[in-house]
Structure 1
């Protein structure tokens, strides 16, 4: 059984973590294909919007410590493989490309949070542009419970999304939040009844996939630039990207109109 499922629907690609018996906890066998799936979605021109979700009753409960997490394939230190610490870093950093790709790919990404999310899962959710949650969703940093510092971009994303004070509260105190509490804090973008979550998420994703893709490409680039760039540099980029986006969109619309006239 595949641990990462891919589904395409009218320009929307849904990537589903498929270990429902473990609340989609992460092991090497799921993290590697997840990163590959995100890379493929990023470069596939037929994909206009990406949804990430979990099978069953949860989104992602973080690393599967019982199964060894990312460390199962680490071998004894050697001149060829390096130390166990070096191997662990390289292996985990490669898996964490999932978060970079979701954040940087030039198309909107949505985390459809259908239940508990914790640990590395909050990094994956935070990497997405939007987070739609069902009322059964919860939110837990969980890193304090295993004496860990955070991974999958979790400390970076949530500092950017919520501000440093709110992020430190989440990580240091490690309190589990209900869906309503997480929504009130701005963690979840929208909150739906569980039976409406998939329908509402797909409706928004299809609208994004059908929208001005070049506009969204440069819009996302501007928003990402704003996270770190100085104001003047961001203005320069906005001015440049405005021209690139509108010219690309106009060209696409002209070609579409031309094709419609030929077909009609």
Structure 2
């Protein structure tokens, strides 16, 4: 059973099926570019699905044949470009807030996130895809920084995410040359977790997300915390936090029920408690 959630705008769609919330950037005529109406809605919906106890996994995708073309250039000019009446410092603070309430929120969301790429993820759209925990892509999909082509340096954390995934040398080369990373290369380098035929993407993304959603929600949240922390902490700090989270999961109802199910050779059903 699927339930639709009103996002307040037609530029962002949201539905929930089998504990999976799918957020769809819905400006296919603009290649799902990030505009002044879409982004506040996305920021709000990330908070809403995080608080929704029925949602265990979040999928971010784009309508039509593209994921996201990055920032809408005309909208960007009005907010942070030379034509804006804001001071440079005000523009910087505006962009910092936009980044933190969207890209950073995706990265730190307490539920697993999956980007499903039906096509290009460019500029800040690439950054949004990289902010997710996993990425499944159509064969025709690719990522491209795109910033250099219009004389920009990049935002939404793309330089950090990409450097962590493929190393700083490769990440800098991609940014400097602005070349496309096609799906086969992205898969081989671990940027994409899976690549499927274009027509199978939606179903494959739902299948992958639904499989994750069958896991124990508390354990999944702590797994994500552990892995995110491991990106920036030393081994001792990481292990100390792992011990803390491990003990806490042993005190959940899900662990007790799963242990009993294991002894009885049954499949556990996790409740998130």
Q: Same fold judged by TM-score > 0.5?
A: yes
Q: Against the structure 1 CA distance between its residues 38 and 227, is the aligned structure 2 distance closer, same or farther, given a 3 Å change threshold?
A: same
Greater CA deviation, 131-140 or 98-107? 98-107
Matched with 1:209 is 213
1:189 deviation in Å?
1.0
Matched with 1:47 is 55
Instruction: Report the 3-state secondary structure (helix = DSSP H, G, I; strand = E; otherwise coil) of the residue aligned with 2:15.
Output: strand
User: In the alignment, which of 97, 100, 105 is matched to residue 94 of structure 1?
Assistant: 97
Instruction: Report the 3-state secondary structure (helix = DSSP H, G, I; strand = E; otherwise coil) of the residue aligned with 1:191.
Output: strand
Structure 1: how far apart are the matches of 2:260 and 2:40? 39
| Per-residue Cα deviation, 1:204-235 (whole angstroms, up to 9, x for no partner) | 11111121111111111100110111111111
1:187 deviation in Å?
1.6
Instruction: Report the 3-state secondary structure (helix = DSSP H, G, I; strand = E; otherwise coil) of the residue aligned with 1:63.
Output: coil
Matched with 1:80 is none
Structure 1 position 135 matched with structure 2 position 139: yes
Q: Against the structure 1 CA distance between its residues 40 and 252, is the aligned structure 2 distance closer, same or farther, given a 3 Å change threshold?
A: farther
Instruction: Report the 3-state secondary structure (helix = DSSP H, G, I; strand = E; otherwise coil) of the residue aligned with 1:8.
Output: strand
- Unaligned 5+ segments in structure 2 are 1-8
Number of aligned residue pairs: 252
Instruction: Report the 3-state secondary structure (helix = DSSP H, G, I; strand = E; otherwise coil) of the residue aligned with 1:182.
Output: helix
* 2:80/2:91 contact within 8 Å kept: no
User: In the alignment, which of 158, 169, 173 is matched to residue 169 of structure 1?
Assistant: 173
What TM-score, normalized to structure 1? Answer: 0.88
User: In the alignment, which of 118, 121, 131 is matched to residue 117 of structure 1?
Assistant: 121
Structure 2: how far apart are the matches of 1:148 and 1:39? 29
Matched with 1:76 is 85
User: In the alignment, which of 19, 42, 57 is matched to residue 11 of structure 1?
Assistant: 19
Q: Against the structure 1 CA distance between its residues 32 and 61, is the aligned structure 2 distance closer, same or farther, given a 3 Å change threshold?
A: same
- Unaligned 5+ segments in structure 1 are 78-82
Structure 1: how far apart are the matches of 2:152 and 2:166? 21
RMSD: 2.3
Matched with 1:240 is 244
Structure 1 position 66 matched with structure 2 position 74: yes
Q: Against the structure 1 CA distance between its residues 246 and 149, is the aligned structure 2 distance closer, same or farther, given a 3 Å change threshold?
A: farther
| Per-residue Cα deviation, 1:33-60 (whole angstroms, up to 9, x for no partner) | 1111112122222110000000111000
Structure 2: how far apart are the matches of 1:130 and 1:70? 33
| Per-residue Cα deviation, 1:128-179 (whole angstroms, up to 9, x for no partner) | 0000000111211111112222111111111111111121111111101222
* 1:115/1:136 contact within 8 Å kept: yes
Instruction: Report the 3-state secondary structure (helix = DSSP H, G, I; strand = E; otherwise coil) of the residue aligned with 1:155.
Output: helix
* 2:77/2:84 contact within 8 Å kept: no
* 1:215/1:246 contact within 8 Å kept: no
Query: Runs ≥4 in structure 1, deviation > 6 angstroms?
Result: 254-257
* 1:143/1:150 contact within 8 Å kept: yes
